[in-house]
Amino acid sequence: MPDPDQGSVGPLDGIRVVELSRLIAAPSCAQILADFGADVVKVERSPAGDEVRQTGPGFVRDGEGRPTSLSSLFVACNRNKRSIALDFADEADLATLKALIARADVFIENFKPGGLARYGLDPESLSRAHPQLIHLSVTGFGSDSRLTDRPATDGVLQAISGFQSLNGEPDGTPQRSSVPVVDLCAGLYAAVAVLAALRSREVQGGLGQHCDVALLDSAMSLVASRAIDYRLTGVVPRRKGNALPDSAPCNVYRCRDGEMFVQAAWDQRFHDLCKAIGRADLASDPRFAVRSERVGHAEELDRELAEALQHFTLADLSEALAAAGIIFAPVNTIDRALESEPVRERGVEREMDDAHGRRVPVIASPIRLSRTPVRYRMAPPEPDEHREAILRDWLGAPAATRG
């Protein structure tokens, strides 16, 4: 396998992307394209840049130990990009932005629908001026929504979509995911949309198109199976904590030194589990002997298993469950996850050097390609770090847009 950092050409080498976006969803999409080798120019509002640069608590520190503009959230979504800071209210800066877009294959933005029209950067204007351009809009509720002016954060969409109602303990309040799953899901769909549009342009006459990816639609895709459950049964899905509605046992159980996720839904696997933990009697209990009865008596079964498993250490239980072929995993904290054997084996955690020689921790792309692997070329940038190089490489010379 080739070195992931050297000697390979990315599948999107030669593709130019202007990213006029902030926060998480659209930047995460642009990072995927950048990982594939696209030249992504991140246009940040002058002078402060993307707001998530200030979102900690983790920050890359300078030589004196002071926090820089590289926050943990910014680092997570912005590697392999170059940054230029522009003020749209300035005519020269707006001209620079338009000149960059004119030379781009892809334009990514996450403004409210209609918000860029006064600058001539709306989908209709750009399509007329640059019919080959692929224009991606990442919005909260869609480009044609009447809710255009309503704030649409990841948390808002977790709530509206019903996603939040499905998480948490049955007798507790709905629980928002602590990671921005809707934003990240939208970023993935957005990257797929851009790749599809690039392929379409290649084989269907060289024309670009407008891609509309909404956080609402992405959130609803996450709850698709539960929404279909409701339409088929008429029963509103409810929270079940760590359990599943159609699988038992399937839960998190406390051991002497931590928690363990265990799933043994099929009858034979359940019988194997019972034998492995010294409770063979549960397999012959009519409440638990077959899957349909276990699902109907899941709370009673969980109480029995909780009492049995609390006496095990994680190590002893892992050994017993592995030998029995049971689905299981310790519930790791983040520090333990990073040190766990499968994470270390896959090389998930990496470090990159930024332009100042600072070591920046990143989590690797989950996409592994055998011939054109992801290259970790550039650490996440400081605001406006690459102005001169971008103007030179894309526009020929800074003076081209500054007269």
Annotated catalytic sites, by residue? 183
**Beta partners for 138?**
213
Of the chain, the end-to-end C-alpha distance in Å amounts to 49
Q: Is 25 helix (H, G, I), strand (E, B) or coil?
A: helix
List all residues 6 or more positions away from 156 whose beta carbon is below 8 Å from its beta carbon: 140, 150
Rounded distance between C-alpha atoms, residue 359 and residue 254, angstroms: 38
**Contact of 73 with 180, CB cutoff 8 Å:** no
What type of residue is 363?
A: I
Q: With contact defined as beta carbons under 8 Å apart, do 199 and 206 qualify?
A: no
Q: Quick check: helix, strand or coil at residue 360?
A: strand
Tokens read off for 364: 């690797």
CB 372, CB 8: distance < 8 Å? yes
- Alpha carbon dihedral 294, 297, 303, 309, in 10-degree steps, equals 0
Measured N-to-C along each axis, helices 181-203 and 215-222 cross at an angle, to the nearest 10 degrees, of: 110
Structure letter (DSSP) for residue 365: P
